[in-house]
Amino acid sequence: MFPAIFLDRDGVLIENRPDYVREWAQVSVLPGALRALSDARLNGYKVVIVTNQSAVGRGIISLEAAWEINDRLVRLIRAEGGRVDGAYLCPHGPDDGCACRKPKPGLLLQAARELSLDLKRSWMIGDAWSDVQAGQAAGVRGTILLKTGRGAEQLALPKPPGMAGYFVCDDVSQAIEFILRQDGR
């Protein structure tokens, strides 16, 4: 079984848009994200994107369009020498009551089953309290809230009740470096 680094997409790897990323032309990769995912010390980890895409459930974009954006992002990361072993998305709206929409851990649990992941040795990186909550609900080793995307706004809000410890990093590059140091790499 492998440790994983779970990454939210919008606000972590690409710029978050208040009107949703609706097509590839709107994708803007955050500075340092591609370089961070190409660090050779990531060998031994599975890198997994887990993203809520409520624009699908809200009827703003199609499920096919959401997958196309994810697939192109994965191809771009790999073309730049980066690592991504899987990408999972929740297409449901906030009121659909699904098991996969973060803060629920469904996407992480699905990835763990399909990719033979050891959640107790894994990490979750996100820009929202819901990302941190999903990681903690899945039982990962550590969770990191980034200041990119919605992260700075989230940090100004009250912490959700029952929140366990978490770490804060400026961006995904700093978060991956932090994880590698914690794991002695």
Active site residues: 8, 10
Distance CA(171)–CA(40), nearest Å, equals 19
| Amino acid found at 103 | P
β-sheet with 46-52: strand ranges across: 86-90, 46-52, 4-7, 123-126, 142-146, 167-169
Angle between helices 129-138 and 106-115 (to 10 degrees): 50
Rg of the chain in Å (alpha carbons): 15
Checking DSSP bridges between strand 46-52 and strand 4-7, what pairing results, if any?
parallel
